[in-house]
Chain A
Amino acid sequence: MPELTVRYGGRNGRAVRFALSPGMVVVRTRNRAPLVRALVSARSREVLDSFERHAAFPEHGVEVLRLRPVPGAPRMVDRDAARELLRRDPAVEFAGCALVSASSLRHPNAALAEPVVYTENLFVAFREGTPPARARALLQDYGLRVRRTLPWAGHAYAVSAPRGTGVAVFEIAGALLDRPEVELCHPELVRRRLFRRAFAPQWHLRSARVNGVRIDAHVDAAGAWRAARGEGVTIAIIDEGIDIDHEEFARRGKIVAPRDVTHGHDDPRPGRGEAHGTACAGIACAEGRAGASGVAPAARLMPIRMASGIGSFDEATALVWAVDHAADVISCSWGPPDGQWWNPDDPTHGEEVPLPDYTRLAIEYAASRGRKGRGAVVCFAAGNGNEPVEHDGYASHPHVVAVAACNDRSTRSVYSDHGAAIWCAFPSNDYSSDALGHPPPRTPGIWTTDVTGNAGYNPGGGLTRGDREGDYTSGFGGTSSACPGVAGVAALVLARNPRLRARDVREVIRRCCDRIDEAGGEYDEDGHSRYYGYGRVNARRAVSIAARFVLVFALAMSGGCAATAEYGELGKAGAAYAAAVEKLLVADAELHADASSERLLQNDALANLTDAQYQRATDDDRRLIATLWVLRRHVRLTREYFVRLGDVAGDRTASKVDDTTAALARELRGLGERLEESALLDADGRKALGALAAVGVSSALRGALARELRAHGDAIRRELALQRTLLDALAAHLGASLSAVTQAREHRLVRAPLLAEKPISNADRWVAQRRAVLLADGAVAELAAASEAAAALESAFEALMQGRLTADRLSALGIELQALLDVASIALEEGER
């Protein structure tokens, strides 16, 4: 059987091979009605009885029929006989072949292979500089009609081949790719779009009791809402239709730029049977007024209805619509068909579905042009096939945040796709599986908005599937549910700090995650798990990191001479690090003194202390605090070193010398004219003299930096290694002091007054003291991560020494340093309570 080849990424790009499916037929009726309602002949009906309806692509007016599996029985018809008969039927306009991936035909379960439909449309992108007239003439040579231009993809067009071209569109695409003017070209191939839904109270947002069981597997959205609720941020949900009349989306200004890209109008309301989009939108940004809250309840919603199959031009149109209408975050809870998660023999597991070039360019357009150049955050559901996410070109695109699902036990949902491309996880539903040794879930799923009345997942009338009215569902799930959850977290992050670039938001999400399921998560050295990415997102921590992202911003904005910029950035980072450690040392000394005093008070309450006992304890404290002070002096020296490194790297002397030399040249020229030697210093000469002097000074400074690091690089390495040890020790000491202070104050200021017979005189003060005690537990937990900053600085220094210091590494270093500064601030605040 001949194979058909498609190339994504141009002539030398990736080749994907297809074959004609032996068991499937694609049919289009003349009146575009479904075959069951079409007035086909009795003979055709007889043939059709041998098939079952496998998929429908209403936007293209076609259905895919698959031969019914009848074990042992002889087939009455085969594919080609059926096509021939149907073609002769006056009610049928077209009866063609479906495609399947070539590799799936070699699979033992080939009958389960997913169909791929070609549409006789093509994507063509010309090389820069090709005259439009030449491009259009070339398209005409192949009989192609321009349907629309695609300016976001460069010099590109969506074109149609004449009706009846059939599989010859593959030959046309191949021939066009061979033309020197053409950069990208491939046919539009469509698959079933599988929504990432797999088969209460909102336990995913905060700790909650469901069916009498306490569920503590949430993202702490409620904790984040104290700082941000998504104000001023727009989340685009590209999905089935969305019920924009639902009470949770009814606030004035909530809905922005609604669109139906499949039909080209502005009404995104759901068609019959479309409940998925409304559920997704609710998870991201339901207002929380009546029955359900989104992760970012104050965010605006851009509902974009896309009822087309996967691979359609419409998916690029939808992404570009979102970007051009100022969406900040884009959530896509769909992707290529998944294999059955419980069936390892399903051939779909092994099928790779690459991104069409137009969709790839649209995602890159979102990343580079969205939010006025800062980039829109694009989230995709990882998939529900319990299979490698790398096979899914959508979720595994490097600009995409690929979201996996975890469950109400803080372990993976059995269906969730896995792999290196997973960025993070968000709570969702789950299923039990004896075969896979997977326990049953404790909740029905995620509670979210449903299409109003009986049109959605919950028909209403009872409480088993949601509320009585049918406006909310309790059982939403899949990575479909997880994806808009992370989109909501991204919206909270941007509400807190709108200056962040899309890549910064990805970093914030990475940094905020809770590592769940340590035993089964298979986390690697970088803290990445193939099942959870960097872990389950923690919205409260994400907002906290976003608020303090100034340092990273400063690093990104740092200017200076390009040749010395990396030294300057390391200098800044080192100085910021040393400042934070100094702060920690001060906090440690203060908390140590407090802890020791509290213990003396506790001891004195039991037995009057002697002078000798007091003196020994005080001597111990003085000695330890004196050492902390010596360390503080050393850290100041470290800080001075890095400041000086930054000073040399960022020195403006070179540009000043340039100005001075220009003035000198002017004077020389004046002098030269007098001496009739002006030709020696004409305009070009003046310029060259100035530039040479500046380069000379700049090279001298760079040389000095390089010599310095050659001379003392080893000492700095040792310094940074020791700093890591110091931070570990400080974190342990601070943690112990903080626990001691908290424990003693709880007893002295909270517990004892409450248990005393006398009523508490100042209730507000007592409440505040108790709150301080309870919140201190969180501060102790944060301390554990302090030494990561030292490790990041060490690694950035090594990269600089080897000439591999990249913007990504600096960005990661900035986040670690910010976390260290956070810890230092928290510790100081605790010390001052």
Chain B
Amino acid sequence: MTRRRRPARREVAPAAVTRRELLAELRDLELALHAPAVQARFEKQPPEVRQRFVEDRLEISHYVALLAHAELADIQGQLARLEPELRDGIARLSSALDAAARTAAILNALTSLLGPLARVLALA
């Protein structure tokens, strides 16, 4: 069975929008859980309550990191697919520059050749 290649995406898929919204909500929650007032309140709690709270907070941070990474990695993957074309463009532009430089070089060489030739003819 042959697998069909998926067409390149040209915009962010709807799923990513949902992920972005979820990420924004989780970030707000993470920020709220680290607010100075919350921190101060839990500093006065018994060790087991603090332990549980820290575990929960770490869990939230872990999910935020996963989602943030997924978002950036998705964009990075799409950008990476464009890199061959960028490199090809750079090569084309470089060769255009080289061609122009070669024209100048040929003309320079011709000029330096003609000088002595004229002098030789003058002597003839």
Cross-chain contact of B93 among A602, A647, A661, A739 (Cβ < 8 A): A647
Instruction: Determine whether the beta carbon of A729 is less than 8 Å from that of B107.
Output: no
Q: A648-B96, A725-B75 are in contact. Are A715 and B31 (CB under 8 A)?
A: no
- In the complex, chain B residues whose CB is within 8 Å of the CB of A651: 97, 100
Q: Is B1 part of the contact surface with A, judged by Cβ < 8 Å?
A: no
Q: Which residue of chain B lies nearest to A670 when distances are taken between CB atoms in the complex?
A: B118
Q: Is the interface of B mostly helix, strand, loop or mixed?
A: helix
0 or 1 for each of B52-70: is its CB under 8 Å from A? (1 = yes): 0111011001100110110
A260 vs B73: C-alpha distance when bound (angstroms): 68
A107 vs B78: C-alpha distance when bound (angstroms): 64
0 or 1 for each of A651-663: is its CB under 8 Å from B? (1 = yes): 1011011001101
Q: A670-B118, A739-B31, A743-B34 are in contact. Are A631 and B93 (CB under 8 A)?
A: no
Instruction: Determine whether the beta carbon of B53 is less than 8 Å from that of A617.
Output: no
Q: Is B24 part of the contact surface with A, judged by Cβ < 8 Å?
A: yes
A620 vs B31: C-alpha distance when bound (angstroms): 18
Q: A607-B54, A631-B79, A715-B82 are in contact. Are A671 and B117 (CB under 8 A)?
A: yes
Instruction: Determine whether the beta carbon of B93 is less than 8 Å from that of A603.
Output: no
A739 vs B34: C-alpha distance when bound (angstroms): 11
A321 vs B16: C-alpha distance when bound (angstroms): 60
Q: Is B15 part of the contact surface with A, judged by Cβ < 8 Å?
A: no
Cross-chain contact of A660 among B30, B83, B104 (Cβ < 8 A): B104
Instruction: Determine whether the beta carbon of B96 is less than 8 Å from that of A634.
Output: no
Instruction: Determine whether the beta carbon of A707 is less than 8 Å from that of B65.
Output: no
Instruction: Determine whether the beta carbon of B86 is less than 8 Å from that of A606.
Output: no
A611-650 residues with Cβ-Cβ distance < 8 A to B are 613, 616-617, 620-621, 623-624, 627-628, 630-631, 634, 637-638, 640-641, 644-645, 647-648
How many Å from the CB of A297 to the closest CB on chain B?
40
Q: Is A438 part of the contact surface with B, judged by Cβ < 8 Å?
A: no
Q: Is A711 part of the contact surface with B, judged by Cβ < 8 Å?
A: yes
Q: A641-B86, A751-B36 are in contact. Are A657 and B107 (CB under 8 A)?
A: yes
A616 vs B31: C-alpha distance when bound (angstroms): 19
A640 vs B106: C-alpha distance when bound (angstroms): 28
A693-736 residues with Cβ-Cβ distance < 8 A to B are 693, 696-697, 700-701, 704-705, 707-708, 711-712, 715-716, 718-719, 721-722, 725-726, 729, 732-733, 736
Cross-chain contact of B107 among A624, A664, A740 (Cβ < 8 A): A664
- In the complex, chain B residues whose CB is within 8 Å of the CB of A596: 61
How many Å from the CB of A359 to the closest CB on chain B?
50
How many Å from the CB of A503 to the closest CB on chain B?
32
A623 vs B66: C-alpha distance when bound (angstroms): 9
A708 vs B65: C-alpha distance when bound (angstroms): 40
Q: Is A817 part of the contact surface with B, judged by Cβ < 8 Å?
A: no
A-B contact count (CB 8 A): 198
0 or 1 for each of B14-40: is its CB under 8 Å from A? (1 = yes): 000000100110010011001110010
How many Å from the CB of A348 to the closest CB on chain B?
51
A641 vs B55: C-alpha distance when bound (angstroms): 47
Q: Is A372 part of the contact surface with B, judged by Cβ < 8 Å?
A: no
- In the complex, chain B residues whose CB is within 8 Å of the CB of A716: 89
Instruction: Determine whether the beta carbon of A647 is less than 8 Å from that of B99.
Output: no
Instruction: Determine whether the beta carbon of B71 is less than 8 Å from that of A729.
Output: yes
- In the complex, chain A residues whose CB is within 8 Å of the CB of B71: 729
- In the complex, chain B residues whose CB is within 8 Å of the CB of A653: 97, 100-101, 103-104
Q: Is A744 part of the contact surface with B, judged by Cβ < 8 Å?
A: yes
0 or 1 for each of B86-110: is its CB under 8 Å from A? (1 = yes): 1111101110110111011001101
- In the complex, chain A residues whose CB is within 8 Å of the CB of B121: 671, 674-675
- In the complex, chain B residues whose CB is within 8 Å of the CB of A712: 85-86, 88-89
Q: Is A455 part of the contact surface with B, judged by Cβ < 8 Å?
A: no
A232-277 residues with Cβ-Cβ distance < 8 A to B are none
Could you give 9 example pairs across A and B, Cβ below 8 Å?
A603-B57, A607-B47, A631-B75, A660-B108, A664-B107, A664-B114, A674-B122, A708-B92, A743-B34
Contacts from A to B (Cβ < 8 Å): 596, 599, 602-603, 605-607, 609, 613, 616-617, 620-621, 623-624, 627-628, 630-631, 634, 637-638, 640-641, 644-645, 647-648, 651, 653-654, 656-657, 660-661, 663-664, 667-668, 670-671, 674-675, 693, 696-697, 700-701, 704-705, 707-708, 711-712, 715-716, 718-719, 721-722, 725-726, 729, 732-733, 736, 739-740, 743-744, 746-747, 751
Contacts from B to A (Cβ < 8 Å): 8, 10-12, 20, 23-24, 27, 30-31, 34-36, 39, 42-43, 47, 50-51, 53-55, 57-58, 61-62, 65-66, 68-69, 71-73, 75-76, 78-80, 82-83, 85-90, 92-94, 96-97, 99-101, 103-104, 107-108, 110-111, 114-115, 117-118, 121-122
Q: Which 8 A-B pairs have the closest CB atoms?
A: A704-B96, A620-B65, A667-B114, A715-B85, A747-B36, A653-B100, A644-B93, A606-B50
